[in-house]
Amino acid sequence: MSALTESAAWRALTQLALADAAVSLNQRFASDPDRARRLAAEACGLYLDYSKQRVDDSILSALLAYADQQQVSAGIARMFAGDVINATEGRAVGHVALRAPRDAGLTMAGAPVMPAVHDVLDRMATFADAIRSGAWRGATGEMLTDIVNIGIGGSDFGPRMVWDALSDPTNRPRAHFVANVDGAQLSAVLGALDPARTLFVVTSKTFTTQETMANAGAARHWLTAALGEAAVARHFAGVSTARQTVEAFGIAPANVFEFWDWVGGRYSLWSAVGLANMIALGPGRFRELLAGAHAMDEHFRRTPLAQNLPVLMALIAFWNYNFLGASSQVIAPYAQRLRRFVGWLQQLEMESNGKSVNRDGQTLDYPTTPALWGDVGTNAQHAFFQMLHQSAALHPVDFIIPVKPVRGLPEQHPLLVANGLAQSAALMRGKDAEQVRAELSRQGLSGATLEAAIPHRVFSGNRPSSTLLLPQLDAFHVGALCALYEHRTFVLSLLWNINAFDQWGVELGKQLAQQVTMAMGDGSGVAALDASTQQLLERVHAR
């Protein structure tokens, strides 16, 4: 056993979990009429109801005591101070600086960063305004009507999610996103575009990412085949730290936008990685996105842990997974425009916290990071909610519900909201055998037929969920929502004593992909591959 699992705070939570099964959520509500009001918190317009989680005052007190043991407040302070908290890479973690105001005075590893951050933001805004106004045009003099973002991982998930959340069919210019090295994706996008009206934004920190550079090369060939080599400077922008490599690609120096090694990919949508969003949505809306995230940063930084939204959500997730044995975490946004939110959050959470050693390199004797998955309501209700209601496994749910519609048949929005609220209530309440028997009796069933039907219609209930209400899906509240989950992820890493900001497992896959690619090309390095991979390559070459 590790020092962490042997600690008094961990043991106290273990004892509370053993007693949890004796009291259901229905009983907790019955004995505490004020529960729904007390077990709620609010910040930046976001309202969190966690009263349907399997917690009470004693459990929350024990969780907060555990947070104190893990020095969560000190960890938050260290991140905002720009300390080197990504120890395995020797880096500070500075995504909060990307959305802070000019006079915030933040430093990273002791160096001031706000002037550089706002210099890049200002350059992005100038470039975006020039494209949107027509002052910057393509090589043939046409206005640029389509922006294609080429990236992968954090250079795709975040910008794509923001575009889906905030754009509308009338948006001009239009944004498109290409990540997969499967040529079908890029071909489908290019097939609907005019080279003379298209701008490509290529995003890669090193400008060597295999998938990104393959797609960028194909896009460049498509463009130059139609408009010639000289057109590259008018139709490409680069987001990278490797300025010389970007310029060698043919991108004009003025169109290279940097970010820094203290910006992790999955935390980078607020930086120049969001250039396609700033161009397509406009600098004003992009700055509203940053403002919402900064508002959540300030809440996270300054609010006591007991009322702190990211901290509360992290403590509840920790409790569900490590003590109640939850099998996974489900995210159910009741908003079609958040259909990409789950994919963004999967990378954020599972790439950050999918670790098996602690910050000192010692093997963990407790699990971290349940599988995170989900889909938008009401679609999800007709896909996997059956399992959530009646399977033996426990899958806690975060319901995310905008209160007001932004556009599109607003008369249907009350039905959407009602479904989200009803599902969270159903997961909590369940339906026991006596309720089922009474219902079936009213329908005319009796005797053995009735009794045989009962087990199939019983719902155990007591399934935990939280409900997060947003006033509406605008740029400010989308920014606050994303920052909320970023900070939740960080707090979980503190609770588990792991580093949330490296991803060596991803690097291993990249290295092996290069070896296999070489083997598929000139045959070099085949002998170094395992027998299974060698055999699969033989089958691939034989077809």
Three-state secondary structure string covering 58-126: HHHHHHHHHHHHCCHHHHHHHHHCCCCCECCCCECCCHHHHHCCHHHCCEECCEECHHHHHHHHHHHHH
pLDDT at 243 over 80: yes
Alpha helices in 258-406 (DSSP H): 275-281, 283-302, 309-322, 341-346, 352-353, 385-390
pLDDT class of 533 with cuts at 50, 70, 90: confident
Q: Residue 534 CB: number of other CB atoms within 10 A?
A: 13
Q: Are 344 and 299 in contact (CB under 8 A)?
A: no
Measured distance CA(443)–CA(358) in Å, rounded: 57
Pair 324, 367: CB distance under 8 Å: no
DSSP class of residue 512 equals: H
Whether 284 and 124 have beta carbons less than 8 Å apart is answered as no
Q: How far from the centroid of its chain's Cα atoms is residue 433's Cα?
A: 40
Distance CA 228, CA 206 (A): 26
Which residues make Cβ contacts (< 8 Å) with residue 25, sequence separation at least 6? 52, 54, 428, 429, 461, 462, 464
**Residues 495-522, mean pLDDT to the nearest whole number:** 86
Burial track 181-219 (b if 16+ CB lie within 10 A, e otherwise): beeeebeebbeebebbbbbbbbbbbebebebbbebbebb
Report the C-alpha gap between 539 and 284 in whole angstroms.
Answer: 53
pLDDT of res. 169: 84
228-239 residue pLDDT tens: 999 999 999 999
- Residues 170-194 have a mean pLDDT of 96
* Phi, psi for residue 113 in degrees, rounded to 5: -125, -15
Pick the range with the lowest mean pLDDT from 73-77, 257-261, 496-500, 530-534.
530-534
pLDDT at 506: 80
**For 172, which DSSP code?**
S
Burial profile 459-479: b = 16 or more Cβ within 10 angstroms, e = fewer: bebbbbbbbbbbeebbbbbbb
Q: Residue 1 pLDDT > 80, yes or no? A: no
What does the buried/exposed string (b/e) look like for 93-102 if buried means 16 or more CB atoms within 10 Å of the residue's CB? bbbbbbbbee
User: 523 pLDDT exceeds 80?
Assistant: no
To the query of whether residue 89 is one of the catalytic residues in this protein, the response is: no
Give the model's pLDDT for residue 508: 79
Mean confidence (pLDDT) of the chain: 95
Q: Is the pLDDT assigned to residue 260 strictly greater than 90? A: yes
Q: Active-site residue 52, yes or no? A: no
Rounded to 10°, the helix 283-302/157-166 angle is: 110
Closest of 266, 276, 242 to residue 256, by C-alpha: 242
User: C-alpha distances in angstroms, 54 versus 58, 312, 332, 436?
Assistant: 11, 13, 19, 24
276-317 pLDDT tens trace: 999 999 999 999 999 999 999 999 999 999 999 999 999 999
Checking DSSP bridges between strand 198-203 and strand 146-150, what pairing results, if any? Answer: parallel
Confidence of residue 509 (pLDDT cuts 50, 70, 90): confident
- Whether 507 shows a pLDDT value over 90: the answer reads no
pLDDT of residue 259: 92
CA distances to 81, 208, 295, 487 from 299, in Å: 16, 38, 6, 11
Residue 21: what pLDDT? 83
pLDDT exceeds 90 at position 171: no
CATH architecture of 8-69+303-429+463-496: 3-Layer(aba) Sandwich (3.40)
Burial of 396 (0-12, 13-18, 19+ CB in 10 A): buried
Summarize pLDDT for 128-144 with one digit per residue, the tens. Answer: 999 999 999 999 999 99
The domains spanning 8-69+303-429+463-496 and 98-289 adopt the same CATH topology: yes
Which residue of the set 451, 510, 538, 541 is catalytic? 510
Task: Select which of 349, 351, 355, 487 is catalytic.
Answer: 351
Rounded to whole angstroms, what are the CA distances from 83 to 40, 216, 452? Answer: 32, 35, 63
Closest-CA residue to 501 (of 84, 45, 51, 7): 84
Give the residue extent of every domain in the chain: 8-69+303-429+463-496, 98-289, 431-462, 504-542
Half-sphere exposure of residue 11, counting CA atoms within 13 Å on the CB side?
A: 6
Judged by DSSP in three states, 464 sits in: coil
Q: What is the mean pLDDT of residues 456-466?
A: 96
Residues contacting residue 435 through CB under 8 Å, at least 6 positions apart: none
d(C-alpha 273, C-alpha 264), whole Å = 11
Q: Given a cut of 90, is residue 10 above it in pLDDT?
A: yes
pTM assigned to the model = 0.96
**Residue 437 burial (10 A CB sphere; 0-12, 13-18, 19+):** middle
> Averaged over 454-460, what is the pLDDT?
95
**Residues 317-346: what's their mean pLDDT?**
97
* CA dist 194 → 127, 147, 164, 230, 281 (Å): 21, 11, 22, 17, 20
Which of the four pLDDT bands, split at 50, 70 and 90, describes residue 193?
very high
Task: Answer yes or no: is pLDDT of 357 > 80.
Answer: yes
| Span 178-204, average pLDDT | 97
**CATH architecture of the domain with range 98-289:** 3-Layer(aba) Sandwich (3.40)
Do the Cβ atoms of 199 and 148 come closer than 8 Å? Answer: yes
Lookup result for tokens 């509240």: 477
Residues 6+ apart with CB under 8 A from 336: 376
Give me the sign of the Cα torsion angle 143, 148, 150, 151.
positive
In 3-state terms, the chain is what percent helix, strand and coil (to 5)?
55, 10, 30
Q: Give the DSSP letter of residue 430.
A: -
In this prediction, residues 379-405 reach a mean pLDDT of 96
Give how far the C-alpha of residue 353 lies from the chain's centroid of Cα atoms, to the nearest Å: 12
Whether 351 is catalytic is yes
